[in-house]
Every structure is written in structure tokens, then in C-alpha cells.
Amino acid sequence: MINSIKNSTVDDVKSLEKNKSIALIFLNRKFLLLLLFIIIYAFFAVFAHNFNSFQNIESIMIFSVEIGLLSLGETLVITSGFGGIDLSVGSMLGLSAIVIGELIGRFGLNIWLAIIIGLLVGTGTGLFNGLMIVYAKIPPLLTTLATMYLYSSLALLVSMDQYGNAMPISNFPSIYSIFGQSNILGIPLQFILFFIPITIILYILVQKTIFGKHLLSTGTDEIVSKLSGINVNKIRLWVYTISGLLAAIAALIETSRIASARPDLGSNMNLEAITISVLGGTYIFGGTADIIAVFIASILVTMLDNGLFLIGVNTIWQTGALGFLLIGALILDLIIRKRSL
């Protein structure tokens, strides 16, 4: 490639080989998940009644979208480093959902306007997280722990009726159902028009753009990045804001899917999003992200839930299975990282 490169020493070549094998193993996260996917799929196809039906596959796709979007946001946040984590994704979803629901169901606002406001609310809550972390310098874990409570409390407040009871909203116009209940050629619309395009956009954002380069650099080493003229604060503000926006999009899809908006939507999704992100190869200390692997991981986890349910495993064990999967992935991570040192 380059003249001086031709003079490379034996050591250099060795290290190149080492690098290649590292790169291969890291790349393997996607293949590893696909392999796991196939094994789990085959297992359930044999043992779970109805698992391998078109309807069931469709429902796995449907259920993977909302948690998948949260996991993608989580991935960006964790990748930005500095202990980056977002515990409030579920609460942002809940708040955005109830805002959309109230605006349409109680105030009869134009649904498009309501959706835009809902998305803005989600984006705003994400931005608020970012501002607290970047400017008040509160560690992300604590900031988002606080806003997790704050946003779900706000959601309850918004949903109160005149008697002070938190009420769900269910009177959406029928057109609103297109986001979560329709399909294109049998494939759920939210999967094709939201999940896949957003995954591709984020993949390109992280891998091909300046923003992505700066994000990975910031997460790898804040000081090197600052000394290279990167505005690490700006990067961090952006990732938390994007996480909020994605939570709001998930809120839109979920309220449309179940034709109802409740303030507690998303309350059990906070930690699951982190789990899926880590399972998808996101390095918990930042700097490494594989968007496609996170995409696969969110389908994998949804499929696992679905399959366990179908073969009649107690729901209590479903969360346990997720725990096992995560520990397995982390041990694998450790082995890979040790070998690459």
C-alpha cells in the first residue's frame, strides 16, 4: 500500500495477524448472535407448539420493535462512555405515550400534531438527561435513576382525571392504529418502516459519519478526544437526546399497537434495554458499538420470551433466562477481551 509499509518487520506482521484475529472475533458478535438465534429458533420450532407459524413469527417481529428501539438508544448512550447509561428509557416512553394519548383522546388534537408534540416531549426528556449529565456533572447512573422516577411520576400526573385518578386513554381514532397494527406484505409496518430504517440510519451514523467517529472516540478516551478538538459535551448531549427521541417513537408504536396509552407503559423496559444492548456487544465502558448486533439481539430476546411462553415455562423463569443469557454474553466478552490483549 505504502512504500514504508513494505519494509514492515516480522513483528509488525505478527501483530497484523493478531489484529486480524481480534477483528474476526469481534465481528463474530453478529455471527455469534445469529448462531444463537438459529439454535434457539430450532429448539422452539421442535418443542413449542405453533412457534414456527407465520403468525407467531409476525408477533415476534411486532414485539421486538419497541424494546429494540430503546436498546438502540441505550447503545448510543453506553457507547459515549463516562459511565454512560440510560435507566430512564422506559419512563421516557411512558411519558411520551401518555402525552400523545391525552392530546388525542382527551383534547381531541389532530393526531399528527399530537404525535409531533409527543416526539418533542421524548426528545426533551432525553435532552434534559443530557444537560444534567454534561453541565451539572451528575453521573449518568444517578441522573437517569432520578429522571426514571421523575418521568414516570410526570406521566401519572398527566394521566390524572378530574378526580385525581390516573386513567388510561383508549379512545384513539382508527387511523391511529396504522403504526402498530398494520402490515406490508404480511410484515408488520413498524418493523419495516421504523425498526429496519432506524437501525440502518444509526448504523450509518455510527460507522460512516463524523458524528460516529467522534462518538466512538469520546467513549474510548475522553481526554484523547478533547485534546483532538472533539467537543465531547456536544456528543454526550446528542446521544441522550437521541435516546429520548427513540423512546418517544417506541411510545408512538406501542400506543398504536395496543390502542391505549397508559402512564406505566415501559416501566419494565428500562433494564431490559440495557441487557439487550450489552448482549449486542456494546462495551459497557464505552467506545465500541455494533448496531446490527443490537438489532439481532433485540429480536433474539423477544423470540426467547415468546418461545418460553409457548412451551409453558413459568413467566417468572423468563426473566431468569434473560439473566442467564446476559451472564453468558458477558463471560464471552471477557474471554474475547482477554485473548485480544
Partner 1 sequence: MENKILLECKEIKKSFGGVHALKGIDFVLNRGEVHALVGENGAGKSTLIKIFSGVVFPDEGSIFLKGKEIKIQNPLDAHRKGIIAVYQEPLVYPKLSVLENIFIGNEIKKSNGEVDWKSEEKRAIELFKSLDIKSEDFIRKPIGKLTTAIQQFTLIAKALNYNAEVIIFDEPTAILSDIDAQNLFKIIKLLRSDGKGIIYISHRLEELQGLADRITVMKDGEIVGTGNNVDMTKKRIIELMAGKNVIEKIQRNNHEEKKDIILKVQGFSKDRVFENISFDLKKGEILGFAGLVGSGRSEVMEAIFGFTKYDKGNIFLEGRNIKIHKTSDAIDLGIMYLPESRKLGLLQNKSILDNVGLPVFNRFLKSLGFINNNNLNSSIKQYVELLSIKAPSLFTNVEALSGGNQQKVLFSKGLIAQPRVLILDEPTHGIDVATKVDIHKLIAKLADDGISVIVVSSELPEIIALSDRVIVMHEGKITGTFEGNQITSLNLISAFVK
The residues that touch partner 1, with contacts defined as CB under 8 A, are 1-5, 7-9, 12-13, 15-16, 18-19, 205, 208-211, 213-214, 216-217, 220-221, 223-231, 287
Question: Is 19 or 182 the residue whose CB approaches partner 1 more closely?
Answer: 19
CA dist 276 and 302 (Å) reads 10
Q: How far is the CB of 332 from partner 1 (least distance, A)?
A: 19
Q: How far is the CB of 235 from partner 1 (least distance, A)?
A: 12
Q: How far is the CB of 83 from partner 1 (least distance, A)?
A: 19
Torsion-angle region of 86 (φ positive above 0: left; ψ -120 to 50: alpha; else: beta): beta
Question: Is 192 or 205 the residue whose CB approaches partner 1 more closely?
Answer: 205
**Closest C-alpha to 74, from 213, 278, 210, 218:** 278
C-alpha cell at 200: 440502518
CA dist 90 and 250 (Å) reads 10
Question: Is 242 or 325 the residue whose CB approaches partner 1 more closely?
Answer: 242
Question: Is 164 or 229 the residue whose CB approaches partner 1 more closely?
Answer: 229
Q: How far is the CB of 222 from partner 1 (least distance, A)?
A: 11
Q: How far is the CB of 4 from partner 1 (least distance, A)?
A: 5
CA dist 205 and 249 (Å) reads 18
Question: Is 3 or 314 the residue whose CB approaches partner 1 more closely?
Answer: 3
Question: Is 37 or 283 the residue whose CB approaches partner 1 more closely?
Answer: 283
Residues 217 and 225 sit within 8 Å (Cβ to Cβ): yes
Question: Which sign does the torsion angle of CA 231, 340, 204, 200 carry?
Answer: negative
Q: Rounding to the nearest 10 degrees, give the CA dihedral for residues 42, 307, 280, 321.
A: -110
Q: How far is the CB of 213 from partner 1 (least distance, A)?
A: 5
Residues 252 and 115 sit within 8 Å (Cβ to Cβ): yes
Q: Using alpha carbons only, how large is the chain's radius of gyration in Å?
A: 21
